[in-house]
Chains A and B, each alone.
Chain A
Amino acid sequence: MTVGLGLPGVGEPRGAADPQPVRATVPGGGSYRLWLYDVGLACCAVEFVAATLDGTLVDQGVEPYAGTPDRADVLVVSGTVTDKTAPAVRRLYDQMPEPRRVISFGSCANSGGPYWDSYSVTKGVDTVVPVDVYVPGCPPRPENLVDGLRHLDVLVAEAAQP
């Protein structure tokens, strides 16, 4: 079951062309405001921040900065994960409540990216935590984060279908 949340706001009612809320459905039904936790490890984190600046995410029911992992719904890993930082990323994931989702944002987090042959870079954050959506790009554009969240929304909604 997918339930739309009312949008806070003033002025004219929204039309079809306006941004629609990202509505994530959890197993068991219901919909909730998405709280993101960004693990900003390299320059992709700048693109993540850029995606949060104009209010697009907030308009769509996404809170970009959960502040702590224990109230986050989606872990966004943006940047280069090294073998040294991988346990810290894993610890953040472990601190998140279920249901939890992971978006790998950018080439480095996806596969190691330009550091594919490095001795210290983890070859993809999916070797550390399960990843739901991979956003390609080096770096991805800020809009791609919104796009990734939409893909995640579709995935979750499909998984919730009886």
Chain B
Amino acid sequence: MTGPVLEQVRAAAPSAAVADGDGLLTVDVEPSEWVLAATAARDHGGFTFLDFLSAVDESDAMRVVCHLVSPAPFQHLMLRCLLAADRPTLASLAPLYAGARWHERETAEMFGISFLDEAGAVLPSPPLLLADGAAHHPLRKSFLLQPRLERPWPGAKEPGESDGDVSSSRRRLRPPGVPEGLA
């Protein structure tokens, strides 16, 4: 993003701050300025294409990540914002990018983040990948895979290790995603 465009985004969303994003231009904004920042990026920066939108569970907060692309000149923009971990809500980008709802619905079912329409009402998000009526959000860190708690982890390095072999000198392998003390 060229300097003037960043200025435009800052003018629309004063909270916008450039963050370290592993080479990609990454801008953090406050949730209240989410749509404003995206609008400025689209209208003044040429970021007309929404590549993806997803989230990261950072345990104490939910971070929504949105990758925008400007086709010509070709540029990336990673737009991020941090939401409270309990009942996270964010305004939908669907009025700006027609494809945004698909990503938002996936994010809603995987992370339990509600997306709001322009009037502030929660947009309906029937599950895309989970069974209808599923109440769990599998990509949250607090979500544990029940079979991993109940069975020995098969991903052992040595034979016999995963069978719960107590004579093994090695510590019993803890399945990924299962906290200490539960497995």
Contacts and interface: CB of A to CB of B under 8 A. Distances in A.
Interface in A80-138: 82-84, 86, 116-120, 123
A133 B127 CA distance: 32
A86 B145 contact: no
A120 B130 contact: yes
A119 B131 contact: no
Contacts of B175: 117
A83 B145 contact: no
Closest 8 CB pairs of A and B: A83-B131, A119-B138, A117-B147, A117-B145, A117-B148, A84-B131, A120-B130, A116-B147
A144 B151 CA distance: 29
B121 interface: no
Interface string A8-20: 0000000000000
Interface of B: 127, 129-132, 134, 136, 138, 143, 145, 147-148, 151, 175
Nearest to B154: A116
Contacts of B138: 119-120
Contacts of B127: 84
A120 B130 CA distance: 6
A86 B136 contact: no
Contacts of B145: 117-119
Given A117-B147, A119-B130, A120-B131, 5 more contacts: A82-B129, A86-B131, A117-B145, A119-B143, A120-B138
Contact of A84 (B130, B136, B143, B147): B130
Residue among A84, A116, A119 facing the most chain B CB atoms (10 A cut-off): A119
